Amino acid sequence: MGAPRAALWRRTRRGRGGAGGDGARSAAGDGEEEDEDEEGRHDGEGGGRRRGQGPTIAKGHKNYELMLNLQLGIRHAVGKQGPITLDLRSSAFDPKEKVWTRFPPEGSKYTPPHSSCDFRWKDYCPQVFRTLRKLFKVDAADYMLSLCGDQALRELSSPGKSGSFFYLTSNDQYMIKTMKKAEVKIFLKMLRAYYNHVRSFENTLVTKFFGLHCVKLAGANQKKVRFVIMGNLFCSDHYIHRRFDLKGSSLGRTTDKPQTEIDEYTILKDLDLNFIFRLQKPWYQEFQRQVDKDCDFLEQENIMDYSLLVGVHFRDKRVIMTEGSFDSDSSRGSSPHLSSHLSRGDTDPNRMCTIRLGSNMPTKAELTVRRTDCEPQLIGESTGEFYDVILYFGIIDILQDYDISKKLEHAYKSFQYDPTSISAVDPKQYSRRFKDFVYKAFQEDKVDS
């Protein structure tokens, strides 16, 4: 095995992958420490498609009643569809614009009887999210069926340090993430700017949000669960073989799991990246324009700690066959027979119609290697060895502002480490560093120009 090819499989022999933020990586816990368990954060925005990822929330599951409450509330909210206008009034974005509905088990004038506990349901800025779903071309009936149909939701992994849980619909199209009160406040504060941004830029790479809700249990408990519904970045017929969460920082930005514990849903980080993705000129120019616009938006909203989540599908299954295998039924660390799913769908003549920025993009991936005789390199050196891949990517974790806790974290870690290497930096510096890294990881394919 040649040195470059050997380097590829030492670094990226990760087992079988599946298909996001903002998304999972899951759509994950916005703005957490750079050394946290990324899988707890992200296995939603890049949830899996080939195999049901996460346990089904069946009767007896600790969150079974919560799931029923969510589905009852969503069915009620979406079923109240009214007229939609793109030119929303300022009052529609008011954080106080919310609708409470009580769901007693016996039913009411407005709600059906149900087998769950007594709870109250809150819709935040319902008119805004109805309009966002329209902008994102989401059919109301399909949306309701995906979230509230006969098939149960699945729970993804365990929560990261944020304590957020992630749920995935049975068709993998949507993710549900529980949120802290502080995150909800940040989101509502930026909602008008977010709406204007996604309305202005159809190809925006930032997470697509479809609804913001709250369940409040009745009785002595009075527990509140806030959650947001978003798109699954990796919902695809293609199999995702690699997942990378890229920030542009280096401190703690490697996978800390032993090789034998890395499975198909592991999120690799900046210092694990061993490719340069070479986009055709028109796509690269559009990519650069959109990343610039999206980062400007996030900087203006005082947001930092976001990531570019990247999913990679290798089109040539011989690459996997000669160097390793990703059969989901195998034990970790073994080399079983390659499943036929690796190239499924690549020859579909209709697939070319679905290519768009960040989704289903045919690309060349050039293998890179890092020198070991110097400081860690964020981007390795080119080898001239290329692979045909299909990419999925988007900007996720966009609900962390540069608050006092992040400022203190930056000050504290700056005494111990190079300030440019840590994740917690001010939004302007974060945006600049993020773009600098992304434009090295994604480059124009000069061969085809």
Q: What would the pLDDT profile of 41-89 be if each residue is shown by its tens digit?
A: 343 355 544 445 677 887 878 888 888 899 999 988 888 767 778 889 9
pLDDT band at 309 (very low <50, low <70, confident <90, very high): very high
* pLDDT over 90 (residue 212): yes
Whole-angstrom distance, CA of residue 115 vs CA of residue 141: 23
The tens digit of pLDDT for each residue in 409-448 reads: 434 344 444 445 455 578 898 999 999 999 999 999 987 5
Residue 39: the pLDDT is 37
| pLDDT at position 297 over 90 | yes
Q: Where are the beta strands (DSSP E) in 201-344?
A: 209-217, 224-231, 242-246, 275-279, 307-314
CA distances 321 to 148, 238, 315, 338, 358, Å, are 40, 17, 12, 6, 27
The sign of the dihedral angle between the CA atoms of 51, 27, 208, 74 is positive
pLDDT at 375 over 80: no
Most confident residue range from 24-38, 206-220, 406-420: 206-220
Distances (CA, A) of 365 to 7, 46, 52, 119, 237: 14, 20, 28, 50, 20
Q: From the DSSP assignment, how many helices (H) and strands (E) are in the chain?
A: 10, 13
For the chain, percent of residues with pLDDT exceeding 70: 69
Percent of the chain with pLDDT over 90: 37
Residue 263: pLDDT band by 50, 70, 90 thresholds? low
Quickly state the pLDDT bin for 163 (edges 50, 70, 90). low
Q: What is the pLDDT of residue 35?
A: 37
Supply 148's token pair.
């509230």
Q: At residue 38, what are phi and psi to the nearest 5 degrees?
A: -65, -30
First to last CA, the chain: 32
Model pLDDT, residue 331: 30
Average pLDDT of the residues in 348-360: 70
**Residue 404: exposure state from Cβ atoms within 10 A (0-12, 13-18, ≥19):** exposed
Residue 14 pLDDT exceeds 50: no
**DSSP secondary structure string for all residues of 241-268:** -EEEEE-S--TT-S--S-GGG--TTPPB
- Average pLDDT rounded to a whole number, residues 224-252: 88
What pLDDT is stored for residue 262 in this prediction? 65
- The mean pLDDT value for 257-285 works out to 85
Q: Which of 286, 209, 264, 199 is nearest to 23 (CA)?
A: 209
Residue 261, pLDDT score:
72
Of 184, 213, 224, 192, which is closest to residue 399 (Cα–Cα)?
184
Instruction: Give the pLDDT confidence score for residue 220 in this predicted structure.
Output: 65
Per-chain mean pLDDT for the chain:
76
Cα–Cα distances in angstroms (integers) from residue 289 to residues 130, 365, 397, 440, 442, in the given order: 28, 21, 20, 15, 13
pLDDT tens digits for range 101-129:
888 888 888 888 888 888 889 999 999 99
Q: Is the pLDDT of residue 346 over 50?
A: no
Phi first, then psi: what are they for 216, rounded to 5°? -120, 115
Which amino acid, residue 171?
N
- Computed from CA positions of residues 19, 277, 342, 38, in that sequence, does the dihedral angle turn out positive or negative? negative
What is the rounded CA–CA span in Å between residue 311 and residue 277? 12
Residue 334 scores a pLDDT above 80 = no
Look at residue 48 in the predicted model and tell me its pLDDT.
44
Decide: residue 180, CB within 10 A, 0-12 exposed, 13-18 middle, 19+ buried. Answer: middle
Residue 51: in which H helix or E strand, if any?
A: none
Residue at 320: amino acid letter: I
The structure tokens listed for 399 are 């609900």
pTM beyond 0.95, yes or no: no
